[in-house]
Structure 1
Amino acid sequence: MEKEKNKGFAAAFSERIPIAGPSITEVEINCVIDAVKNGWYNNAFEHILRFEEAFSNAVDRKYAVSLPSCTAGIHLALSALNIGPGDEVIVPDCTWIASCAPVNYVGATPVFADIDKNTWCISGNSIEDCVSSNTKAVIAVNLYGNMPDWDDILRIARKYNLFIIEDAAESIGSLYRGRPAGSFGDCSVFSFHGSKTLTTGEGGMFVCNDKKMYDRINKLRDHGRVPGDVMFNNDEIGYKYKMSPIQAALGHAQLSRLSELVAMKRRIFSWYKERTAAIEEITLNPDSDNVFNSYWMSTAILNASTQLNKTILIPMLRDSGIDVRPFFNPLSLIPAYSRTAQAKAARERNHVAHSISPWGINLPSSLVMTESDTDRVVTVLLELIQKKL
């Protein structure tokens, strides 16, 4: 009886359409097996160094440091830039909290800028509105695979002498004017979470072109120990931010398939675009001649006329076996920040973020999606819209 019950549960689960997930082949499996068998003793750093070198080349940076998460990369970047109490760091209002939380880790103050309606990424005009005498840096997020107006952001950075951290967590494989995501700003960070286009299960990467910053990051991520020190003479307190050889082997294998993985993401988006083209109530991810979008997440914004904000719509889709997730809430609204003075100011200022977010959902975008899965998602979504209209 118990077996039948579990069998039924498994069958029901298999019919769900997942929101995100990787593509794993024999290429990855064989690399991980090699790391498990041979990635020890004199070979302990071999897979890590291979991955870091290949990754830096892929994103046109001189240096790469593998990490346990993208969040760790932002934390290390802020620490290396000596940003701390009394300093302000501008972040987009609409992003995952991980883009912002490290600002609090170092004791600085996050300032929430609006997003651009044409990119959903941080707005150059809003950055200028947020700059004060205490502003030291901007964390610019390539949201859902798209990229902001980097020409404008870099111009503003030069004008106000600001550090730029590119949060490329969601944009591996994207291009801005032919330049890869991860090649902008003073440094860039990536995520390899299990939901990302390229995954190591958990993990991240820091990249930059400055040797001093690279050396500083390497020291901070290893408990404040100078690289190469074998006597454990740590001269400051640092962090334990490292990636394992097994994760690096998986990442390196995934990187060898990057063009294939991005093509799969873009194909999924093209299926959604074709099927929603005639549905006036749905707007998908913005498009631009300047950006080659890797479409980590295919995202839909519904018209307010549908009366289906994300709070109403998401449970309905999940009840239909379709896993979706909300467009990121404005940080200025979430409980972690909503009572701060900066959040209150942002709610008055950031009209685009607060008008788009309530009506946005991320559609299933896993790398095991099929065209028939897309048919099902759009069919159910259209039925829900028509019931409301």
Structure 2
Amino acid sequence: MEPSYQLSSLPAWIAYPETERLFTALSADGAETAPRFVGGCVRDALMNRTVCDIDLATPLSPERVMSLLAEAKIKYVPTGVEHGTVTAIVDRMPFEVTTLRRDVETDGRHAKVSFTENWQEDAARRDFTVNALFCDMTGKVYDFFGGVRDLRQGLIRFIGDAETRIQEDYLRILRFFRFYAHYAGGTPPDETALAACAKYAAEIPKLSKERITHEFLRLLEAKTAARSLHFMEETGVLRCVAQQDAALDVLERLIKQEEYWDTDYDAMRRLAALFTADVELFRLPRSAEKQWKTLRDPALIKKIWPGMTEFEIRQFVYDNGNSLLRDMLLLAAARERDAKKRDTYRHLYQLATSCRLPRFPVLGKDVMALGIEEGKELGDVLRKVETWWRDKDFRPGRTDCLAYLKSLVE
């Protein structure tokens, strides 16, 4: 008999019309083939956390899943059919539906799988006990390996032998520290798991850069990321990932400031606090790569200092935006050991948060109205007016700016 628990209260997302419609469609072959929620949404429901992604497991084959979705007029994308995964889109809400699997062959990076109808067999191939939890529509949680107990204790434990599970996929080393960061609280890490992670840390570079980057950034999103990173450093895992020293003290101060200054947690900001050089094993999305480079730009960093004036704040915001300035001030404060200077940066942060600038009140058509045709001269004149307006601390209105424009043209 499957060991089970009952959720104390049903989370709202179970009763979403989209969820109910999908479950009805995938249960058409009978109750014994009904899908179950799996993984993160079950963990977060047990911990009363907000659920972002809803994943389902099913004993049905991917082909049957797609057939039932089509019959129910539910859109789907065969995102990874060879691995059993289909993404169902119910009224624009995505659900990842994966057929129960067992591993046939592993090489440390990928697994060849075959499909099964056995829930325990699927649970046994998963990495951690807290990741092998299933839940049905009634809130009944199916737990084959003591994951509920481990979750309540903040224990991240491999299913079976830690070394064996890591050798199946070396990404599990990074996943261990990511799960520890998000779910352990103050519980010490499992010593057997730490030893296994240390033993195989040198295998991490064999993984794809995309997979390494994804796991590391998700780790950085955790409130207690610094604690997990300390254990990564002690085991040598962090050095294998970054190939450089990590400024953990800076990250710790940044995390405290994020809470004290009442701001969000940002993985790229935290990454900039940790490392000064590029990480060879990372492959960031283009927008994230740009953000990371900007946060470490020496020319911009030089502009951030405790004596920054309100005029300088407004100029920085005009050139680079309010959000970047707040990030740069947080990072500058995190690098600062002097508590008084950190308080000064907090004051600057508050000024930056409230900074609102007017739009430049002159347009190209205003210059053309004075007889200057579109081209380089028009651009030069417009820039001169804008520079004058900025030097006046953005105070002149449209009338004054147009008067200055006329004085340049006449």
Shorter-chain TM range is under 0.3
Q: TM-score, normalised by structure 2?
A: 0.22
Structure with the greater relative contact order (CA < 8 A, sep ≥ 6): 1 or 2?
1
Structure whose alpha-carbon radius of gyration is higher:
2
As a proportion of its length, which structure holds more helix? Answer: 2
Q: TM-score, normalised by structure 1?
A: 0.22
